[in-house]
Structure 1
Amino acid sequence: MIEAIQKFLVKMQQQGHVYPLIRQAEVHVNLCCEQQIVQLVIKNGAVFILQNPSKQQIAYEISGNEAAMKQLIEGTTRLRVLEQKGEIKVDTSLRIALLLEALFYLTKAQEDFANII
């Protein structure tokens, strides 16, 4: 899962079209897969990860098996679709869920569009 997240971060840096979504956001989301927890931090237009995050920080949580989390992070399947199928559990507000879904999906969508041209 960590490799998929690192690839996502690289793609985020290359694609400025998603930055207006996170310009003033401050969100901490724990991505849990099996025994691994990685915290995705969105703060003031930047996105980065924290491995072994502190329990004291208030964070939202998305958990699921490795295949489902990879689909989410790579943007191949939308967050709400995975949740409806029961493949992931989402413990966030709807607003945060939609923000994350947009970030993951738009990052992937831009890559797919570039391959078509």
Structure 2
Amino acid sequence: MIEVLKTFQIAIKQQGHVLPLLEHINLRANLVCEQKAIQIIIKDGEFFILHDREENQTIPEIRGDLKAMKQLLEGKERLRALERNGQLSISAPLRTTLLLESIFYLTKAQEDFAKII
């Protein structure tokens, strides 16, 4: 999953229409897939990935299998739709969920996957 996240990180930096949405955000979230947690951080217009972190903070969390995470990060499916279908579970306030959904969906990293792979 780290490869998918790194591709998403590259894609988000290339998306001019998404960057204003990130400007004044300070958000941390865990993406949990296959018993591994990867923390994403969005702070002042930047997107960071922290893996191999053992923090027990209470932060928003998205859990699911690799297929669902790829659909989310590639912008192929919306976060709340994946939750409704039972493919992902989300522990975050609605406002945070909507913000994350917007970021993932608007970035549509799948267009960049073909260029990188």
Q: Percent identity?
A: 49
Q: Which runs of 5+ in 2 are unaligned?
A: 113-117
Q: TM-score, normalised by structure 2?
A: 0.88
Partner SS state of residue 38, structure 2: strand
Match of 1:5?
A: 5
Moved over 6 A (4+): none
RMSD over aligned Cα atoms: 1.8
Q: Which amino acid in the other structure matches residue 29 of structure 2?
A: V
Q: Which runs of 5+ in 1 are unaligned?
A: 113-117
- The verdict on how the C-alpha distance between 1:52 and 1:109 changes in structure 2, with shifts beyond 3 A counting, is closer
Match of 1:60?
A: 60
Count of residues in correspondence between the two structures: 112
Q: TM-score, normalised by structure 1?
A: 0.88
Which structure 2 residues correspond to residues 23-34 of structure 1 after superposition, within 5 A? Answer: 23-34=23-34
Which structure 2 residues correspond to residues 97-108 of structure 1 after superposition, within 5 A? Answer: 97-108=97-108
Match of 1:115?
A: none
1:30-79 C-alpha deviation (Å, 9 max, x unpaired) = 00001211101001111110002241444210000111111111110100
Give 1 or 2: higher helix fraction: 1
